[in-house]
């Protein structure tokens, strides 16, 4: 299964990266979601796969029955899943507002919203005095 | 000493405030400060031992705010405080009616304090801090007239050069501290041998020279100083002639015992100093602006001082101290005279000046006193200094050439001094006569006092020598050095030379115009390749380079950034994997279980579909499919907690998407086909790297140090049987607290973005999907379903510590239930139903989580220590502060989810 999961993670990464390289904003968001799933699985697999046994201590015992799955990556991933929801929500709203305000979802057209696209360094004060 | 410094800094900070309300009082307070410092210093003249004081600053790095007042510091700080007082008096009148004087005096006081700190510092780092402070205040003062482009440019140039040198100096000082094993200057100076023999010595010397030469305007860095004349005249007199530019000289003198005595020291200083001395004095000749003349002659004087320290005999050091003292007094005074003339007749051009002696007798008087010292006329300190210089040079082996050069330079200096102190007053004006009247006493008083000081100190030269010059020389050489000075030596060769210079200078003085034309022409031709021009070109080049590299690196195309990042990562990581010991040995192949293959196949197919999908709704559905399949994978590999959370999140995510999806742009295929092919290749290489990485990681032996600890202590210490939940709410509860705070911030961000009322006219509001659901069955069913789900979510929360469940998943289930109600009935109905708004729920959740951690504090335990009731309660089971923490998480997660979703749902309705 390690091989299968490794390929799966690779595929999710490829798809996520590919989507993030698109110029359409929504596709970038989808890429983000794919990547966060991929990273969670990556951490999960890196903690080693143990089929079946969750890290629960049965009643009357002091330790979980070995072999059990590593609880540490699980704790990490659990919060990561919830936070990725928060991030996705924020990103969606950001994209929507950007689209509404600027009227385009083409990233290349968003290059010049903060600064003028021609990046000549000018000294406005100097020009004024030069007159 | 430390108190004096801090009060100076405090005064400079408070002054602008005070000045706004009590202008006169604050100005008087300002004058008291240098007087106090002067009194403090005068009482320490003829002290037996240096005074030291120290405050710890960064003890771990052996850096302390330590200060030490010895002979050298004393003479410098006396000049700083006494001249500083006169400058403040002068500037108060000179700048009457100027804007922003509060700021000006604040900078000036800050400068004075920094300069005092610089000469008192006994720690290399402390010295450096004050050194930089003087550079910065100098920048601010040169650019005081910030509406003048020329002033801004000059200020920036001075800052770039002195601060650039400062950086080199810092490196030098740190190296020196390392070579000596201490940062305390007084100890370093006792370890001179160690430093001079260290491998670092050439580097140290180079760096420290770079600092000193830039600050003290040595060739080829001299050009910032004439530029700095854009500052108001009091600043020129104070910073750029009497004190700050001598900081480099001070540094060389201070570190003399540690660094001097080698050939590198001697020849470098001698060479650079001599060139600067000659260049400064000759370049002063073609100038017509009084201040520029003085600036170049200051450059010359600084060159001479560097040269003297380079020669470095007892006599040379003594000469340097006397000359420095004399120069500070007369040059400061002459600047003030130039300012006074400017103030009275509004010009500083020698060509337009003349005949002011009658109208301005008192200014002329001060000018004459300073001028006599400047040309070295008996009985002034300048005369003593000049004789000493000649005495030294005549005794020099092969001194003939040097003597000739010195005579040349001194002749030029004498002539230009004459143009400043004599020409405006006693030469007949060839142009139209000037309307002039005498300035008020604050303007003519200070230069006259400085001139008188120069004469008095010379008349009482034996006392000056023993109580001021002697101790300074002694601290430079760090050996007892009896200094006896005399005013009159009789008719010696030195005296003859001195007299000759004055006469030759007088000759040049009279034939000013042809001289100026000749040298001016030469200078104009040379300046095409001069350091000023090189500096300008360098600055231009730097700016062009910045634009160029910004254009290449910060091109604004996300795609190109990503390609760069991916390819770089692939290349670097790939190389390292292949190079790692053992290379790439893959884990053993185990035949996969049947359902593993099915799950993987589903995800792979879904991934392919999502990449090529063109419908938004289909994409959302496929993303959901991927998420649910991954949840199943978690379930299969012993992570039921993760599976549940993933299920719950996928549910909420679908709701989220449905709420906004029709207000998102449609998918468009914009990129061209070849570009897409490239992207596919890059993305595949990134994915392949990750696959390789996973295989590589899992093939290594794995020992975790944390997991055994968590597992073994979960039950005894944290009283929980679900180790994942115990890690979240107990062992790493602080991290979890941070994470729910992040969620809260995301929710607030979403809310803020939605509420941000951007121009919506572009897209006529579309009705949200949420109100289109008009079914009879759903609302009815929800009325029964929702309470059941809520009870289930509380059940999940409470059992979470021992079984699968917990605050996160419980909160998500509860949020889903409530959102179901919002969809079936309406968001408003849900809000009416809730006991508190989602926003308040977030706050409440965070508060509960915070408070649960604080319980331990009352028992003197660290924050977030878990506390447990000894007996389990019915229904709830064992209760402790981690359970309470989980309740906080539960409430916060409900709040966050609802806050986000309802904000979006309501947005659609407006």
Interchain contact, B694 vs A55, CB within 8 Å: no
Determine which of A29, A30, A40, A55 to mutate to test the interface with B (most B C-beta atoms within 10 Å).
Answer: A55
User: pLDDT tens digits, residue range B313-368?
Assistant: 888 899 999 999 999 999 999 999 999 888 888 888 888 887 788 888 888 898 99
Q: Which residue of chain A has the CA closest to B561?
A: A21
Interchain contact, B724 vs A71, CB within 8 Å: yes
Interchain contact, A23 vs B670, CB within 8 Å: yes
Chain position carrying tokens 């950007």:
A98
Measure in Å the smallest separation between the Cα of A115 and chain B Cα atoms.
Answer: 10
- Helices B263-284 + B201-215 axis angle, to 10: 20
pLDDT > 50? residue B896: yes
Give B779: exposed, middle or buried? Use CB within 10 Å, 0-12, 13-18, 19+.
middle
How far apart CA B709 and CA B706 sit, in angstroms, is: 5
Q: What DSSP string describes B73-103?
A: HHHHHHHHHHHHHHHHHHHHHHTTT-TTHHH
Whole-angstrom CA distances from B163 to B114, B122, B241, B814 are 15, 21, 18, 61
Nearest to A2 among B593, B641, B698 (CB): B698
pLDDT > 70? residue B761: no
Longest CA–CA separation in chain B, Å:
124
Interchain contact, A14 vs B707, CB within 8 Å: no
Residue scoring higher pLDDT (B531 or B380): B380
Measure in Å the smallest separation between the Cα of A113 and chain B Cα atoms.
Answer: 11
- Quick check: A43 contacting B, CB < 8 Å? no
Interchain contact, A107 vs B559, CB within 8 Å: yes
Interchain contact, A96 vs B664, CB within 8 Å: yes
Say whether B692 sits in a helix, a strand or coil: helix
Minimum mean pLDDT range among A13-17, B87-91, B610-614, B721-725: B610-614
pLDDT > 90? residue B9: no
pLDDT > 80? residue B428: no
Interchain contact, A21 vs B562, CB within 8 Å: yes
pLDDT at B429: 66
Closest by CA to A51, choosing from A65, A75, A68, A71, is A68
pLDDT band at B908 (very low <50, low <70, confident <90, very high): low
* 8 A C-beta contact, residue B356 and residue B424: yes
Average pLDDT over residues B133-138: 92
pLDDT at B423: 83
b vs e for A28-57, b when ≥16 Cβ sit within 10 Å of the residue's Cβ?
bbbbbbbbbbbbbbbebbbbbbbeeebbbb
Measure in Å the smallest separation between the Cα of B67 and chain A Cα atoms.
Answer: 43
User: pLDDT tens digits, residue range B823-863?
Assistant: 888 888 888 888 888 989 999 999 999 988 888 788 778 88
Token pair listed for B439: 């300035």
pLDDT at B649: 92
Q: Which residue of chain A has the CA closest to B900?
A: A89
pLDDT > 60? residue B767: no
Partners of residue A108 in chain B, C-beta under 8 Å: 557, 670
- Quick check: A8 contacting B, CB < 8 Å? yes
How far apart CA B287 and CA B513 sit, in angstroms, is: 11
pLDDT at B602: 92
Residues 99-118 of A with CB under 8 A from B: 99-101, 103, 105-108, 111-112, 117
Measure in Å the smallest separation between the Cα of A66 and chain B Cα atoms.
Answer: 11
Interchain contact, B746 vs A83, CB within 8 Å: yes
pLDDT > 50? residue B777: yes
- Quick check: A124 contacting B, CB < 8 Å? no
In CATH terms, the fold of domain A2-51+69-110 is Helix Hairpins (1.10.287)
Q: Which residue of chain B has the CA closest to A7?
A: B691
Measure in Å the smallest separation between the Cα of B893 and chain A Cα atoms.
Answer: 9
Measure in Å the smallest separation between the Cα of B149 and chain A Cα atoms.
Answer: 7
Measure in Å the smallest separation between the Cα of A60 and chain B Cα atoms.
Answer: 10
Measure in Å the smallest separation between the Cα of B254 and chain A Cα atoms.
Answer: 42
How far apart CA B662 and CA B658 sit, in angstroms, is: 8
How far apart CA B865 and CA B855 sit, in angstroms, is: 8
Q: What DSSP string describes B554-614?
A: ----HHHHHHHHHHHHHHHHHHHHHHSTT---PPPP-PPPHHHHHHHHHHHHHHHHHHH--
Q: Which residue of chain A has the CA closest to B640?
A: A54
Partners of residue B653 in chain A, C-beta under 8 Å: 85, 88
What single-letter DSSP state applies at residue B837? -
Average pLDDT over residues B619-623: 90
pLDDT > 90? residue B304: yes
pLDDT > 80? residue B876: no
CA dihedral B666, B667, B668, B670 (to 10 degrees): 130
pLDDT > 70? residue B376: yes
Partners of residue A118 in chain B, C-beta under 8 Å: none
pLDDT band at A113 (very low <50, low <70, confident <90, very high): low
Interchain contact, A18 vs B680, CB within 8 Å: yes
Measure in Å the smallest separation between the Cα of B594 and chain A Cα atoms.
Answer: 10
pLDDT > 60? residue B452: yes
pLDDT > 80? residue A120: no
Interchain contact, A72 vs B562, CB within 8 Å: no
How far apart CA B552 and CA B139 sit, in angstroms, is: 33
Closest by CA to B467, choosing from B478, B483, B480, B489, is B483
pLDDT band at B168 (very low <50, low <70, confident <90, very high): very high
How far apart CA B474 and CA A52 sit, in angstroms, is: 85
DSSP count for chain A of H helices, then E strands: 4, 0
Phi, psi of B869 (to 5 degrees): -70, 145
Interchain contact, B637 vs A44, CB within 8 Å: yes
pLDDT band at B433 (very low <50, low <70, confident <90, very high): low
pLDDT > 60? residue A117: no
pLDDT at B251: 94
Q: Which residue of chain A has the CA closest to B602?
A: A8
User: pLDDT tens digits, residue range B86-131?
Assistant: 999 998 888 887 777 888 888 999 999 999 999 999 999 999 999 9
* 8 A C-beta contact, residue A9 and residue A41: yes
Token pair listed for B462: 């034996």
User: pLDDT tens digits, residue range B29-65?
Assistant: 888 889 999 999 888 888 878 888 888 888 888 788 9
Interchain contact, A13 vs B697, CB within 8 Å: no
Q: What is the mean pLDDT of chain B?
A: 86
Q: What DSSP string describes A51-76?
A: SS--SBPPTT-SSPPSS---HHHHHH
How far apart CA B750 and CA B655 sit, in angstroms, is: 15
Interchain contact, B670 vs A121, CB within 8 Å: no
Determine which of B544, B560, B651, B746 to mutate to test the interface with A (most A C-beta atoms within 10 Å).
Answer: B746
Interchain contact, A3 vs B589, CB within 8 Å: yes
Is the pTM for the entire model greater than 0.80?
no
The interface pTM score, or ipTM, of the predicted complex is 0.88
pLDDT > 60? residue B469: yes
């Amino acid at each position: 299964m390690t091989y299968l999961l490794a390929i799966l993670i690779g595929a999710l990464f490829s798809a996520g990266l590919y989507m993030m390289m698109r110029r359409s904003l929504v596709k970038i968001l989808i890429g983000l979601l794919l990547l966060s799933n991929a990273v969670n699985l990556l951490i999960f697999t890196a903690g080693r796969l143990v089929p079946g046994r969750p890290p629960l201590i049965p009643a009357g015992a002091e330790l979980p029955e070995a072999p059990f799955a590593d609880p540490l990556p699980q704790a990490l991933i659990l919060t990561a899943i919830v936070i990725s929801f928060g991030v996705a929500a924020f990103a969606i709203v950001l994209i929507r507002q950007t689209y509404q305000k600027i009227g385009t979802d083409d990233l290349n057209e968003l290059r010049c919203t903060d600064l003028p696209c021609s990046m000549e360094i000018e000294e406005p004060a100097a020009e004024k005095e030069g007159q | 000493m430390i108190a004096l410094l801090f009060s100076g800094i405090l005064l400079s900070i408070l002054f602008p405030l005070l000045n706004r309300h009590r202008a006169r009082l604050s100005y008087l307070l300002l004058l008291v400060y240098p007087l106090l410092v002067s009194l403090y210093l005068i009482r320490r003249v003829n002290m037996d031992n240096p005074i030291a004081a120290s405050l710890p600053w960064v003890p771990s790095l052996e850096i302390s705010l330590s200060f030490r007042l010895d002979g050298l510091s004393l003479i410098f700080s006396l000049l700083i405080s006494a001249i500083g007082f006169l400058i403040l008096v002068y500037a108060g009148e000179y700048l009457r009616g100027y804007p922003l004087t509060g700021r000006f005096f604040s900078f000036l006081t800050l400068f004075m304090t920094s300069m005092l700190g610089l000469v008192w510092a006994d720690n290399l780092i402390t010295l450096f801090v004050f050194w930089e402070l003087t550079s910065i205040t100098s920048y601010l003062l040169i650019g005081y007239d910030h509406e003048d482009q020329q002033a801004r440019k000059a200020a920036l140039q001075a800052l770039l050069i002195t601060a650039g040198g400062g950086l080199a100096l810092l490196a030098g000082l740190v190296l020196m501290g390392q070579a000596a094993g201490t940062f305390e200057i007084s100890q370093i100076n006792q370890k001179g041998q160690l430093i001079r023999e260290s491998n670092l010595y050439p580097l140290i010397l180079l760096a420290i020279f770079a600092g000193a030469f830039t600050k003290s305007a040595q060739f080829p860095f001299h050009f910032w100083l004439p530029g700095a004349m854009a500052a108001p005249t009091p600043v020129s007199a104070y910073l750029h002639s009497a004190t700050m530019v001598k900081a480099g000289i001070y540094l060389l003198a201070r570190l003399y015992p540690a660094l001097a005595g080698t050939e590198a020291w001697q020849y470098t200083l001698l060479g650079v100093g001599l060139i600067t001395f000659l260049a400064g004095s000759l370049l002063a000749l073609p100038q017509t602006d009084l201040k520029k003349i003085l600036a170049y002659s200051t450059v010359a004087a600084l060159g001479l001082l560097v040269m003297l320290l380079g020669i470095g005999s007892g006599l040379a050091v003594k000469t340097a101290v006397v000359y420095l003292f004399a120069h500070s007094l007369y040059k400061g005074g002459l600047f003030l005279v130039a300012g006074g003339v400017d103030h009275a007749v509004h010009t500083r051009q020698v060509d337009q000046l003349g005949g002011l002696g009658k109208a301005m007798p008192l200014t002329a008087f001060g000018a004459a006193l300073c001028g006599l010292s400047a040309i070295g006329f008996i009985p002034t300190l300048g005369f003593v200094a000049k004789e000493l210089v000649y005495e030294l040079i005549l005794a020099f082996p092969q001194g003939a050439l040097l003597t000739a050069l010195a005579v040349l330079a001194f002749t030029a200096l004498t002539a230009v001094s004459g143009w400043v102190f004599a020409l405006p007053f006693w030469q007949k004006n060839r142009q139209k006569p000037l309307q002039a009247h005498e300035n008020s006493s604050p303007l003519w008083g200070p230069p006259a006092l400085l001139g008188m000081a120069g004469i008095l100190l010379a008349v009482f030269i034996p006392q000056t020598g023993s109580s001021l010059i002697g101790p300074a020389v002694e601290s430079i050489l760090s050996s007892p050095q009896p200094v006896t000075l005399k005013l009159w030596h009789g008719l010696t060769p030195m005296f003859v030379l001195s007299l000759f210079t004055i006469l030759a200078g007088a000759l040049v003085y009279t034939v000013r115009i042809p001289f100026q034309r000749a040298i001016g022409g030469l200078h104009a031709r040379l300046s095409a390749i001069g350091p000023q021009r090189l500096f300008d070109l360098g600055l231009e080049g730097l700016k062009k380079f910045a634009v160029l590299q910004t254009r290449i690196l910060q091109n604004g195309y996300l795609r190109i950034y990503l390609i760069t990042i991916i390819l770089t990562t692939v290349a670097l990581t790939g190389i390292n994997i292949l190079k790692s010991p053992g290379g790439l040995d893959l884990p053993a192949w185990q035949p996969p279980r049947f359902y593993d293959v099915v799950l993987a196949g589903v995800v792979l197919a879904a991934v392919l579909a999502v990449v090529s999908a063109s419908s938004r709704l289909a994409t959302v559905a496929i993303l959901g499919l991927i998420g649910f399949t991954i949840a199943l994978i978690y379930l299969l590999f012993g992570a039921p907690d993760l599976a549940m959370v993933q299920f719950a999140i996928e549910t909420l995510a679908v709701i989220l998407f449905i709420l906004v999806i029709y207000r998102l742009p449609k998918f468009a295929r914009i990129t061209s086909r070849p570009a897409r092919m490239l992207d596919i290749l890059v993305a595949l290489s990134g994915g392949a790297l990750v696959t390789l990485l996973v295989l590589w990681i899992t093939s290594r032996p794995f020992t975790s140090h944390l997991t055994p600890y968590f597992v073994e202590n979960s039950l005894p210490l944290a009283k929980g049987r679900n180790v994942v939940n115990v890690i979240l709410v107990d062992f790493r509860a602080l991290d979890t607290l941070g994470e729910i705070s992040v969620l809260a911030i995301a929710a607030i961000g979403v809310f803020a973005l939605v509420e941000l009322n951007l121009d919506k006219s572009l897209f006529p509001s579309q009705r949200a999907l949420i109100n289109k659901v008009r079914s009879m069955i759903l609302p009815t069913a929800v009325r029964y379903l929702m309470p059941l789900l809520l009870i289930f979510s509380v059940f999940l929360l409470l059992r979470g510590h021992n079984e699968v469940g917990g605050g996160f998943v419980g909160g998500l289930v509860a949020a889903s239930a409530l959102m179901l109600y919002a969809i079936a009935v309406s968001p408003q109905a849900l809000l009416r139903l809730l006991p508190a708004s989602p926003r308040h729920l977030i706050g409440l959740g965070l508060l509960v989580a915070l408070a649960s951690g604080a319980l331990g504090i009352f028992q003197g335990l660290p924050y977030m220590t878990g506390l447990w009731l000894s007996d389990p309660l019915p229904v709830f089971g064992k209760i402790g502060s981690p359970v309470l923490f989980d309740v906080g998480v539960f409430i916060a997660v409900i709040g966050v989810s609802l806050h986000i979703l309802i904000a979006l749902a309501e947005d659609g309705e407006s």
